[in-house]
Amino acid sequence: MSSYRQILYHSVINTKDRKLTIPEPHCQTLYRYIWGIVKNTDSTLYQINGIGNHIHLLTDLNPTISLSDFIKNIKVASSMWMRQQKNFPLWESWGKGYGSFTCSYNEKDRLISYIKNQKSHHQKESFVDEYKRLIIENGVEFDKRYLLG
């Protein structure tokens, strides 16, 4: 008997204090590095993108790894890597916490498009407003004191 599963997550990770510490010219290099981290967990990265103070990922998470360990692996490894790179001179760290929301496979294409269009999207909506909206749309209760660490 085989086991079948699909565990799609739309995850959002912000920089410490939401500072613009991910330079636009070097985003793709960071995204490729994170893709390698995801691949090493036997998970699938469908899309990654963001702006200078946060990233979005759409992933199919391998069921042998917990979501918190998955995000921790991404944050720790990418943060150490960015500190070693001259292209991220303002880098401090990722913020505390993250947002991750389960998604239906039927939403995959829409979410890929949404994540691809982050730069144009954020010309109309701030990251803080976007993050609050995602939390509310996904029915997650939150304490405003800890919304964005």
Query: What tokens were used for 10?
Result: 């739309």
pLDDT of residue 2: 78
Q: Is the dihedral of CA 79, 82, 84, 90 positive or negative?
A: negative
Across 34-38, 41-45, 111-115, 117-121, least confident range? 117-121
Q: Give the residue, 16 or 148, on which the prediction is more confident.
A: 16
What does the domain layout of the chain look like in residue ranges?
Answer: 8-146
For the stretch 128-146, pLDDT in tens is 889 899 999 999 988 777 6
Query: What tokens were used for 108?
Result: 């995959």
8-146 CATH fold: Alpha-Beta Plaits (3.30.70)
Q: Tell me which amino acid residue 7 is.
A: I
Do 132 and 147 contact (CB within 8 A), yes or no? yes
pLDDT of residue 128: 87
Region 81-96: mean pLDDT is 96
pLDDT band at 124 (very low <50, low <70, confident <90, very high): very high
pLDDT band at 3 (very low <50, low <70, confident <90, very high): confident
- pTM above the 0.75 mark? yes
Region 13-33: mean pLDDT is 96
Element (H, E) at 47: strand 44-51
pLDDT of residue 108: 97
CB atoms within 10 A of CB 70: 22
